[in-house]
Amino acid sequence: MPHHLRSGLSTSPPCRQGVGHRRGRQLFTIRKPLLAAAGALLLTGCQYNVLSPQGWVGEQQRDLLIISTLLMLIVIVPVLFMSVYFPLKYRADRENTSDYDPEFEHSNKLEAVVWGVPILIIVALGYYTAVYTHRLDPYRPLDYLDAGEPIEVQAVSLDWKWLFIYPELGVASVNELAIPAGRPVNFSLTSSTVMNTLSIPALGGMVYSMAGMETKLHLIADSEGTYEGRSAHYSGPGFAGMVFETMSMNEDEFNGWVENLRAEGQPLTADSYLALEAPTMNDPVSYYSSVEDGLFDRIVGLCVAEGKVCMSDMMMSDMHGGGGLAGIADGAAYSHDRERAIDGFGRSIDLPAVEWHGGHGEDAGEEGHDGHEAHDMQDDAAHGSHEDARLTAPATLPHAHGAAEEKDMN
């Protein structure tokens, strides 16, 4: 019996296996450059706006990036060189070992290099960090550039779209930002729900927008053009479509764009804003011909809906000790997130209404809590450790926007 049958091995001739193996290696060798070429082709669609900015702020950030990279290369390049040179030079099988010194202990030159170079790099990095930190402070206005009158823009990050309000012009747009070229843009940012980030890479800068807070950002476009803007902070299932175009125009084109908004847009009121605030994905561009007075301040205060307590009023109440037990029944006026709850697919969730107990006598009794018990609790608290009368604050705080300035909380 042949040997290959006795051993139980494959009956395929050995030469055929060798041919198949060689073909596999050839295909793998060809596949590698093809994959590399495909990757390079895909990268041709990338936009390197960070390294090719179109505004003063972006240019300063690019310069800082290049300076920092060059300073770090002072360390990286010699380390890469020495990691190859020293193993080759001092390998065990080298022929010439005359430079071997078994009594070597110290070298002032090596100490100077090992300690001096890092110290110089740290000093340089510290200097440039201090200079550019103050120069590129996002809260610092760009009026020192003498670039003309700045334009005010109030940006609101919604789920999942951007609302831009022009308070001086009385118009607004969704998912489209127009700015005059050569004039500073003063952004005021906030969010309706979760944290987001306004990012226009070609112009530089990136600042968070947060619910109940107002942040600042100052940018400028040196030339006309259209630049991509987006949210740079993941905020849910509709994040990928949260993009907008930033159109830098000359003055005449910008004025024409504003007039177009006034002619074609709809009024932006508290009711229309609440409808816009509902979670939607991949929204088209839309315009608003007018904006209700004080709307942005109410968005920041999380009190656009009627009957909601603004953040400023809430903080004023907290500063005076809160509403105490008598204010428990007004909890719905302080609630904001429940009406905006969504599931993992971005769909709104109707949560059951919360029963706010206590503080209003007959109403408390109907919900299972006797009104007398609530009054007894208030009396006990008032005669206990809280004798400073802060717990006797009115149960119903002012719900009108800005009412904290009109009502004496003392």
Each residue's pLDDT tens digit, 51-106 = 788 889 999 999 988 998 898 898 899 899 999 998 988 888 888 888 888 888 88
Which has the closest alpha carbon to 173: 269, 289, 275, 295? 289
Confidence of residue 397 (pLDDT cuts 50, 70, 90): very low
Confidence of residue 373 (pLDDT cuts 50, 70, 90): very low
More confident residue, 305 or 355: 305
* pLDDT attached to residue 117: 87
Inter-CA distances, 379 with 345, 375, 396, Å: 48, 6, 19
- The yes-or-no verdict on residue 267 having pLDDT over 50 is yes
More confident residue, 213 or 147: 213
* pLDDT attached to residue 152: 96
- The yes-or-no verdict on residue 135 having pLDDT over 50 is yes
- The yes-or-no verdict on residue 395 having pLDDT over 60 is no
Confidence of residue 38 (pLDDT cuts 50, 70, 90): low
Which DSSP symbol is given to 236?
S
Rounded-to-10 torsion of CA 181, 185, 190, 196:
50
CB under 8 A, 24+ apart: contacts of 112-118 = 117/74, 117/75, 118/75
- The yes-or-no verdict on residue 403 having pLDDT over 50 is no
* pLDDT attached to residue 289: 95
365-369: average pLDDT: 40
The per-residue pLDDT of the chain, averaged, comes to 79
More confident residue, 27 or 342: 342
pTM above 0.75, yes or no: no
Of the candidate ranges 212-216, 268-272, 328-332, the one whose mean pLDDT is the lowest:
328-332
More confident residue, 282 or 331: 282
35-59: average pLDDT: 72
Are the CB atoms for 328 and 358 separated by under 8 Å? yes
360-364: average pLDDT: 44
Of the candidate ranges 20-29, 107-116, 394-403, the one whose mean pLDDT is the lowest:
394-403
